[in-house]
Amino acid sequence: MNWENLIVNLECVDTLPTLPTVFTKVSELIAKPNVTAKQLAEVIQTDQAISMKLLKIVNSPFFGFSRKIMTVQDAVVLLGFNATRNTVMSISIFRALNHGSTASGFNMKDFWQHSIATGMVARYLARKLHVDAEKAFSAGIVHDIGKIILQQYFQDELEKVLKVVHEKHISFYDAEIEVYRGTHCDLGSYLADKWNLPIPLIEVIDLHHTPGEATEDPRLVSIVHISNNLCKSLGMDFIESAKKQEIDPYAFARLDLTANEVESWLDEIQNEINQAEDMFQNIQ
């Protein structure tokens, strides 16, 4: 199937996953000028599963609070509104996409651990570079959601891509272009647009392999691009034999960052990657 037919078929799918309404309501509330933590907590608590996950995550080493957080309202106050929204979004996306049959060669656990590791490294880099860290974490988690669309709706094409990856030892991205002349970036941004995700996150999904094309938030795209490649080069990838892509020099330049600086942080970055499995247990 070529790219045009892939998109036409996707547009005809009436069972595309949807995000829990809690995320939409939280986003709408945060946009209002006088919203309170109590109001946000009341909305989140209408979904027991999301509430429990939020408390589990906020009490994990990921946030590092010194005391036990017992209520959703306390979580909202300590996290802040934007971090609360981003955490609810991450939980919602994981819940919407972490199911369904899996194509041969596609390991769902490895996929999510790579996505979470990318989010954690992006969060680390964002803090170093004075960028919104929780937004970077969410962007890292969602960057590859187009691959889930492939595995849920186009398994034949996905298996062809995986076969080309292993036979030719090229990257997943390059194999996609060879097989159907499109990429998971396009599929993911299509779904993100359907979900009305924030435009900077849609741009990350669409351009995390080509950061030089970003216009909405090129620093965020560059951070996720670097984080994605670092995770792969340090062994956190869901396709072991795939050729690693080089980091685009544009990303370093856009962030006023050098490869030597990143190299000096590798021990700390590896520590972030090592925590991905623990975070996976908290979010699933």
Q: What is the pLDDT of residues 217-262, one digit of tens each?
A: 999 999 999 999 999 999 888 776 556 678 999 999 999 999 999 9
Identify the CA nearest to 143 among candidates 124, 125, 119, 177.
Answer: 119
Q: What is the rounded distance in angstroms from the CA atom of residue 116 to the CA atom of residue 278?
A: 10
How is 111-168 classified by DSSP, letter by letter?
HHHHHHHHHHHHHHHHHHTTS-HHHHHHHHHHTTHHHHHHHHH-HHHHHHHHHHHHHH
Domains of the chain and CATH, by start: 3-283 (1.10.3210.10)
> Is pLDDT at 211 greater than 60 in this prediction?
yes
**Arithmetic mean of pLDDT over the chain:** 90
Pick from 10-19, 145-154, 237-246: least confident: 237-246
Cβ(125)–Cβ(226) below 8 Å: yes
Other beta carbons within 10 angstroms of residue 282's beta carbon come to 16
Does residue 140 surpass a pLDDT of 70? yes
Angle at 182 between CA 215 and CA 14, to 5 degrees: 95
Residue range 116-134: average pLDDT? 95
Q: In Å, how far are 131, 163, 233 from 58, measured between CA atoms?
A: 21, 40, 29
| Spatial separation of the C-alpha atoms in residues 81 and 64, rounded to whole Å | 18
Instruction: Give the C-alpha separation, 98 to 100, whole Å.
Output: 7
For 158, residues 6+ apart whose C-beta sits below 8 A from its C-beta are 103, 106, 147, 150, 151
pLDDT category of residue 17 using cuts at 50, 70 and 90:
confident
Residue 102: pLDDT over 80: no
Lowest mean pLDDT, pick from 9-13, 31-35, 159-163, 191-195: 9-13
Residue in 29, 120, 122, 118 with CA at minimum distance from that of residue 76: 29
pLDDT band for 98, please (50, 70, 90 cuts).
confident
Calculate mean pLDDT across residues 202-211.
97
Cα torsion 58, 61, 64, 68: sign? positive
**What phi and psi, each to the nearest 5 degrees, are found at residue 279?**
-65, -35
Residue of 120, 179, 159, 228 whose CA lies nearest to 2: 179
Listed residue (184, 145, 171, 133) closest to 6, CA to CA: 184
Query: Residue 100 pLDDT more than 80?
Result: no
